[in-house]
Amino acid sequence: MSSQTALSYQERAQRHQQPLVRRLFTIASSKQTNVVLSADVTTTKDLLDLADSVGPYIAVLKTHIDIISDFSHATVTGLKALSEKHNFLLFEDRKFVDIGSTVQKQYQEGIFRISEWAHIVNASILAGEGIVEALTQSMKAASHEHADERAMLILAEMTSKGSLAIGEYTKRSVDIARSFPSAVIGFVATRELSSMDAQNASPAEDFVIFTTGVNIASKGDSLGQQYQTPAMAVQGGADFIIAGRGIYASSAPVKAVKQYQQEGWQAYSERIKHN
């Protein structure tokens, strides 16, 4: 299966079999943005204020909900309201990595009740494909009122220095994703992965790639993060660029997110213009 990255978001939305991906591509096309904001702030007020201010310019808001020091029902209520107001999806970056039964409880229960509000979550396959099967069961259960609007990404690669998410691990990520097409919509990765073992792909395969570590002004930090520009990420196969500190830590987050939006969209437009 050849990559679908040369097609426009509109074309891919029309062809895609997964309802949430169709919505995601439609949002990106209508708002002309492929920005995912990694909102790594630590209070409900900061999270909601940030989401409200940059919401018009992003396709997805990515959270680490367990770092919110004053998490409550109001946190979730606010996120859901802003998702509707500004038309963006919610991605909880939980990185599930445990046995299946535990993951189901982490997803559905506990204080965060992630299944009730996050459109997208992600998981590592270090524990085997049981983790993906368990999340698929929870997401697509007949009793889940939002089953058509729940999906996952597999963490296939990382941008941190010395990451072990390479080689056989990445290959197995693709293999497992192909076994659960109703729930797995793509990968957190640094490149497009549909060309990997393409002979095993279905004709309709179209994985979505979210690429982390996007920063216009920095090449890395002291803890091993390695950055690339929006253009570099999109040219490498990213469908959506994940940016964090370059936006939320800026003295002018709205101005910053507009720059990421412009550069990300320009790179995407260049990628598809010869199709």
Residues carrying an active site annotation: 95
User: Angle at the Cα of 266 (from 159 to 233), degrees rounded to 5?
Assistant: 10
The C-alpha atoms of residue 26 and residue 33 are separated, in whole angstroms, by: 10
Pairing of strands 60-63, 35-38: parallel
Nearest-Å Rg of the Cα atoms of the chain is 17
User: Angle at the Cα of 20 (from 184 to 52), degrees rounded to 5?
Assistant: 115
The C-alpha atoms of residue 93 and residue 47 are separated, in whole angstroms, by: 15
DSSP string, 187-213: EE-SS--TTTTGGGS-TT---EEEE--
Written as six digits, the tokens of 137 are 């069961």
The C-alpha atoms of residue 40 and residue 237 are separated, in whole angstroms, by: 25
